[in-house]
Structure 1
Amino acid sequence: MFINGEWVGDKLDTFKVVNPATGEVVGTVPSGGYEEAAQAIEAADEAFPSWSQATAYERATFLKKFHQLILENKEELAQTMTLEMGKPIKESRGEVEYAATFIEWFAEESKRVYGETVPSHVQNKRLNVWKKPVGVVAAITPWNFPAAMLTRKMGPALAAGCTVVVKPSSESPLTAVKLLELCEQAGFPKGVVNLVTGSSSKIGKAIMENRKVRKITFTGSTEVGKTLIRQSADQVKRLSLELGGHAPMIVFDDANLDVAVKAVIASKFRNTGQTCICGNRIYVQSGIYESFLEKFADSVNQLTVGNGMGEEVDIGPLINHAALEKVEHHVQDALHKGAALVTGGEKILNEGGGIYYTPTVLKDVNKTMIVMEEETFGPVAPIQKFESEEEVIALANDTPYGLAAYVFTENVARGTRVIEQLDFGIVGWNDGTPSAAQIPFGGMKESGIGREGGHEGIEAFLETQYVSIGI
């Protein structure tokens, strides 16, 4: 763990980090708890006055050095990521590059935190709006994007003048450890960035009880997000929450079939289907239903399953046995209720303990099936036929989630009509990979609060202060 500029925790108990592709232990990490979190919060609080008073240009210098170091260490970071959570190595390299863009973007955004001069209603007053960093930030990151989710939170927080305590997932903490090593190399002052690993409940308790933590930024399940909302109420802590999704992918008759198939593959099977914005419900209009199924299944059958360290691998392991059980349950429930298996549907457990599920396509699904009601978080593509715009809009919106949606049509009028009626924070139109550092990422309904990335991303770490000056 990295607290107040020092690597600590060598005397604590440890927990193992296991490669889900092989079952092998790839590292051990200190099992910290309430006390260590409290120490990290104290260090961040002590560092806050000087860091917040540094100029935006001074903060940007540290961020730019950090950005450079991430790119210089891309291969080590990518391999670490693949070893601890199974992501195919080519995707891990892409994630490292993506993670670096958040640091670069917010290094520049730090210089664009503008206040306002408001016209006064009387002659002897001058009205100003100032922007101030919110304070100590606790960043809680998920296992599935251990680099990008960390930089997407750290980047704007540090750029705004906040200090940070990072709590990575215990499934994939090693990438965070490496990134904090790079922060140290970049020369961030002591206490500005801190890392605690270990018990989520104990560390979370320290974060939620400590009044010095003014802001929580979390990516994870909606269930945990709701718990954080309840726990934050006593102190009215600021929250940014990027929570669960259940993304619909709508393919109309007039879609470019090749574009649609390629985009659905890219979205659905990225990170073995373990992403919050991956397509979970695929709706295909009746006129191209069979032709889409044929072309899509052919493409899915070309995907290579295996250990993520293989350069040719497209589908790595699931993160753990609970994830495998969930995927199996969703598939079996759909088949029991009348869906047909087009391809896949098999689990693979290798002798070393690797956890795999073949990329799977189901047809003739409907909303009575769990796979169309709950986020699967696995390589399963359920496909349902629809007839009209009105029908598919109702199906797409019939969920408590509202993170991402996808629409495939060559008709601009149709695309505009449909997207205006979709209750989702992110929409890909003929695009299966809409994420970027410069755009506002976040959801509607139970998919979260706030936006990350873009110029909105830094606002989440700033307070607005109105100043009325009598002259």
Structure 2
Amino acid sequence: MVDVDRARLLQAVPTELFIGGKWVSSRSGETFAVVDPASEELLLRVADAGPTDGIAALDAAVDAAADWAATPPQARADVLRAAYDALIERREEIAALITLEMGKPLAEARGEVGYGAGFFRWFSESATRLHLDGGYGVEPGGQYRIVTTKRPVGPTLLVTPWNFPLAMGTRKIGAALAAGCTVVIKPAEQTPLTTLLLAEVLREAGLPDGVVNVVTTTDAAGLVRPVMADPRLRKISFTGSTRVGKLLLGQAADHVLRSSMELGGNAPLLVFDDADVDTAVEGAVVAKLRNGGESCVAANRIHVQSGVVEEFTRKLTERMASFRPGPGLDPASTLGPLIDDRQRTKVAGLVDDAVAKGAELLLGGEVPTGKGYFYPPTVLRGVPHDAELRTEEIFGPVAAIYPFDTEDEAIAAANDTPFGLASYLFSQNLSRAMRVAEALDSGMTGINRGVISNPAAPFGGIKESGLGREGSSHGIEEYLETKYIGLGL
């Protein structure tokens, strides 16, 4: 195991709510347990917020809104840059905390710290450019001038998932703060510790009181509903399931809240006969097993052209068999546990259903005994059309391979889903690669690579995979309104 002073690490993590720049208990005094998914052992107990705590956090965000919006862009940028530097300096500590509460191998957690911190650096640079692209021109009749500028949307509610506990927070918080918005953030109940430590990092970086407020809870719906019903809230940004996203969009309609939704995915990965098979296998492994498959951009459906399907299947099965499940702090482990028993039960159920209906199991497929929510790398082929695996988001280390013959057939199969977040394709023919990429119904497509996330790139989907974009220059626009001024001379 990696030499981590677990007690000292956890002692540094706040366990209360962060409201108005202060650490406070929940109004009820209730707490809930945060558990290590690799051992099922208690890590810490944290404050369990209720509706009144959510409104208190919104009160603090509203009170701080005017001053933060009026804060010079360079000052906002300086806070984000200081927070970035602190995250990089504390990379090992934060990575170990991510591994403890989420389960991913430490090497992947270190990568998440770099990726997540990168959003603070990116948006610190964006903050100082917000007002440099405003418009000034003569209206067509020549009677007056048209002036356009940007201003922050206002207080925002950010709801983040458990699979990337740092990066999903920094991606939203960085854009909001750079734009001049204040924040109430509700992290997932499975992984609140990283967000709580992030709040302390921001406080130490000089963030004014009330600009970011953190509420942890086991009753997400009960806390979020009254906050969204309050007319002082002006934006909701949510990353999670399409089912919950639709509910939130319905609630957002009451006050016409600005809404950003990064929802479910069912990403196809296409491998054509002219692909470099070894490159395709490595890309598929990354797209499938990054984060143990618990990623909204994970390759769910692997479609392989008939000329290379046997070679690809053999090599992918061999490559996935090389992964070793185990606790993320063990350097020998290359695949961590799933987040909890509920998720493991879902993954196992999808595999069992497919096999029962005729799929061929090439690797894995059995729930191991012992502590921890582990599930082995699993490969299936011949999955029938009525199997749930074909339409459900797997969120686990399960690769299902489907053969195809023609390019049109592959595109039709890839697009046969209500989701449209990510897609991947492998081909050494540039014309085909671009032609297929343009035909795929997804917000993001990777060509000859299995990783597409980057702070400088717009992240988001189409169809039932969401609204809006995060990261890049587009991400900050989600937190800004365009103001038009008609200037008479």
Same fold flag (TM > 0.5): yes
User: 1-side partners of 2:450 and 2:179: how far apart?
Assistant: 31
Task: Specify the SS of the correspondent of 1:234.
Answer: helix
1:386-439 CA deviation, whole Å, 9 max, x = no partner? 000010100000000000000000001111111111100010000100100000
User: Which deviates further from its counterpart, 292-301 or 394-403?
Assistant: 292-301
Correspondence for 2:20:
4
- Tell me the CA shift for residue 206 of structure 1: 2.4
Does residue 341 of structure 2 align to residue 321 of structure 1? yes
User: 1-side partners of 2:211 and 2:429: how far apart?
Assistant: 50
1:213-263 CA deviation, whole Å, 9 max, x = no partner? 100011000000000000111111110000000000000011011110001
Alignment match of 2:182 (pick from 152, 155, 163): 163
Does residue 355 of structure 2 align to residue 355 of structure 1? no
Task: Specify the SS of the correspondent of 1:117.
Answer: strand
Correspondence for 2:207:
188
Alignment match of 2:157 (pick from 138, 163, 180): 138
Give the aligned residue type for 2:335. Answer: I
Give the aligned residue type for 2:442. Answer: F
Shift >6 Å, 4+ stretches: none
Task: Specify the SS of the correspondent of 1:130.
Answer: strand
User: 2-side partners of 1:33 and 1:240: how far apart?
Assistant: 24
User: 2-side partners of 1:10 and 1:89: how far apart?
Assistant: 32
User: Which deviates further from its counterpart, 203-212 or 87-96?
Assistant: 203-212
User: 2-side partners of 1:131 and 1:415: how far apart?
Assistant: 38
- Tell me the CA shift for residue 55 of structure 1: 1.3
- Tell me the CA shift for residue 201 of structure 1: 1.6
Correspondence for 2:406:
388
1:282-323 CA deviation, whole Å, 9 max, x = no partner? 001000111111111111111011111112211111111111
TM-score normalised according to structure 1 size: 0.98
Q: Which residues of 2 match residues 7-18 of structure 1 at below 5 A?
A: 7-9=23-25, 12-18=29-35
Tell me if structure 2 keeps the 8 A contact 1:118–1:129: no
Give the aligned residue type for 2:22. Answer: E
Tell me if structure 2 keeps the 8 A contact 1:440–1:453: yes
Task: Specify the SS of the correspondent of 1:399.
Answer: coil
Structure 2 unaligned blocks of 5 or more: 1-16
Give the aligned residue type for 1:46. Answer: D
Correspondence for 1:65:
82
Q: Which residues of 2 match residues 320-469 of structure 1 at below 5 A?
A: 320-350=340-370, 353-469=371-487
User: 2-side partners of 1:349 and 1:307: how far apart?
Assistant: 14
User: 1-side partners of 2:463 and 2:385: how far apart?
Assistant: 20
User: 2-side partners of 1:22 and 1:324: how far apart?
Assistant: 14
User: Which deviates further from its counterpart, 276-285 or 412-421?
Assistant: 412-421
Correspondence for 1:106:
123
User: Which deviates further from its counterpart, 204-213 or 249-258?
Assistant: 204-213
Tell me if structure 2 keeps the 8 A contact 1:267–1:433: yes
User: 2-side partners of 1:411 and 1:333: how far apart?
Assistant: 37
Alignment match of 2:250 (pick from 221, 224, 230): 230
Tell me if structure 1 keeps the 8 A contact 2:26–2:53: no
Q: Give the CA RMSD over aligned residues.
A: 1.0
User: Which deviates further from its counterpart, 441-450 or 417-426?
Assistant: 417-426
- Tell me the CA shift for residue 366 of structure 1: 3.9
Task: Specify the SS of the correspondent of 1:166.
Answer: strand
Correspondence for 1:119:
138
Give the aligned residue type for 1:405. Answer: S
Task: Specify the SS of the correspondent of 1:287.
Answer: coil
User: 1-side partners of 2:183 and 2:226: how far apart?
Assistant: 14
Task: Specify the SS of the correspondent of 2:201.
Answer: helix
User: 2-side partners of 1:336 and 1:366: how far apart?
Assistant: 10
1:361-384 CA deviation, whole Å, 9 max, x = no partner? 001224332111110111100001
Does residue 301 of structure 2 align to residue 284 of structure 1? no
User: 2-side partners of 1:312 and 1:117: how far apart?
Assistant: 60
Tell me if structure 2 keeps the 8 A contact 1:346–1:357: yes
User: Which deviates further from its counterpart, 167-176 or 109-118?
Assistant: 109-118
User: 2-side partners of 1:190 and 1:298: how far apart?
Assistant: 53
User: 1-side partners of 2:435 and 2:351: how far apart?
Assistant: 33
Task: Specify the SS of the correspondent of 1:101.
Answer: helix
User: Which deviates further from its counterpart, 123-132 or 135-144?
Assistant: 123-132
Give the aligned residue type for 2:146. Answer: L
- Tell me the CA shift for residue 10 of structure 1: 6.5
Does residue 325 of structure 2 align to residue 305 of structure 1? yes
Structure 1 unaligned blocks of 5 or more: none
- Tell me the CA shift for residue 267 of structure 1: 1.0
Does residue 45 of structure 2 align to residue 28 of structure 1? yes
User: 1-side partners of 2:429 and 2:439: how far apart?
Assistant: 16
Alignment match of 1:209 (pick from 219, 222, 229): 229
Does residue 316 of structure 2 align to residue 296 of structure 1? yes
Correspondence for 1:77:
94
User: Which deviates further from its counterpart, 150-159 or 318-327?
Assistant: 318-327
TM-score normalised according to structure 2 size: 0.95
Give the aligned residue type for 2:277. Answer: L
Give the aligned residue type for 2:168. Answer: M
Tell me if structure 1 keeps the 8 A contact 2:268–2:301: yes
Tell me if structure 1 keeps the 8 A contact 2:26–2:50: no
